[in-house]
Amino acid sequence: SGLLTRLQTSAPTIRTLSSSNSFSQNIPNCLWKLGRLNHVAIAVPDLEKAQSLYKDVLGAQVSETVALPEHGVYTVFVELGNTKLELLHPLGEKSPIASFLQKNKTGGMHHICIEVDDIKAAMTELKKKKIRILSEEPKIGAHGKPVIFLHPKDCHGVLVELEQA
């Protein structure tokens, strides 16, 4: 019985969270909301090889190649059920993907894309919070919807794309 007494007295106290201490108190009220992860973008030096890997080797549904000259990229989307991969390949000399591939010869993760319900409100609030946006106005992205990019130095090293849902 001595062991049981010691166990009972040394057992940690378990506290439950009351509604007044809920986690939601730490979340500021915003005029916009983050949605789901839309895609993870991967820069690839050889688009055909990358398409073949996902389609022929891994058996994924892979879109046709689409040129987006205003973004300086070719894109291919790989459907994953709950999200997508976006394969990016340079289009033109001023492509941001060309400079990325100069530093990362074999390719790699380029950015993540998260949906938002109000991209203009997101831009306004993020600017107030000193998060740099890489364009003054949203551009039309690969899905035909407005997108913006947030500076990776303000997002812990990750280039974040926000897309109007």
- What pLDDT score was predicted for residue 16? 45
Task: Give the single-character DSSP code of 133.
Answer: B
CATH of the domain at 63: 3.10.180.10
Task: Give the single-character DSSP code of 57.
Answer: I
Establish if 61 belongs to a structural domain: yes
Establish if 16 belongs to a structural domain: no
Establish if 102 belongs to a structural domain: yes
CA angle 95, 156, 165 (to 5 degrees): 65
Establish if 27 belongs to a structural domain: no
pLDDT tens figures, 111-126: 999 999 999 999 999 9
CA atoms of 131 and 114, how far apart (whole Å):
16
pLDDT tens figures, 133-144: 999 999 999 999
CA atoms of 62 and 82, how far apart (whole Å):
15
Establish if 44 belongs to a structural domain: yes
For the chain, what is the domain count? Answer: 1
Establish if 26 belongs to a structural domain: no
Distance, first Cα to last Cα, the chain: 63
**Residue bearing the bigger pLDDT, 29 or 86:** 86
CA angle 72, 147, 75 (to 5 degrees): 40
- What pLDDT score was predicted for residue 93? 82
Establish if 22 belongs to a structural domain: no
How would residue 110 be classed by pLDDT, with cut points 50, 70 and 90? very high
| Beta carbons within 10 angstroms of residue 2's beta carbon | 6
Question: In which domain, by residue range, is 126 found?
Answer: 34-164
Establish if 77 belongs to a structural domain: yes
